[in-house]
Amino acid sequence: MKKLLTFLFLIMFLLCGCTSDKAGILFNRYPITEQTIYNHTKTFPVGARIYYVVLMPKKVESRYLFIQVVQKDNEYGMLGYNLIWSKDVRLKDEEVNYYTDYLVLNRKGHYVMQVYSKDNPHKVLAESQFFVGM
């Protein structure tokens, strides 16, 4: 019994104790610099610039990203999705682990930004939600 518990604890430690670094997205109302990166927010007024940075702990081998913004639409009592904006990006030499840009949305609502890599375009590299006009 003691060996079984030790074995289960060891397996649990090996399988559950590992954490991998994941990519992430931060949004800001101001251009992203070293001083403003800690002032991130997820709510924005309609028509304002939404600055974002995609942080990638692992280098993307193909150096291409696909970025999509999807709006969650709930007008009819059912949750639907509308593709609002998309962009293909080629990372520069100095942008191997991050990409920063901005976008402007003129409709209020609940949005989701998804980032894919050309290495594996079926798997979401990073995903984050934000709100406009709320």
Domains and CATH numbers, the chain: 21-132 (2.60.40.1930)
Task: Tell me what the pLDDT averaged over the chain comes to.
Answer: 83
- Asked whether the predicted pLDDT for residue 103 surpasses 90, the reply is yes
Between 18 and 26, the higher pLDDT residue:
26
Q: Cα-Cα-Cα-Cα dihedral of 81, 130, 128, 86, to 10°?
A: 60
Report whether pLDDT(128) > 90.
Answer: yes
pLDDT for 67 = 96
pLDDT more than 90, % of the chain: 48
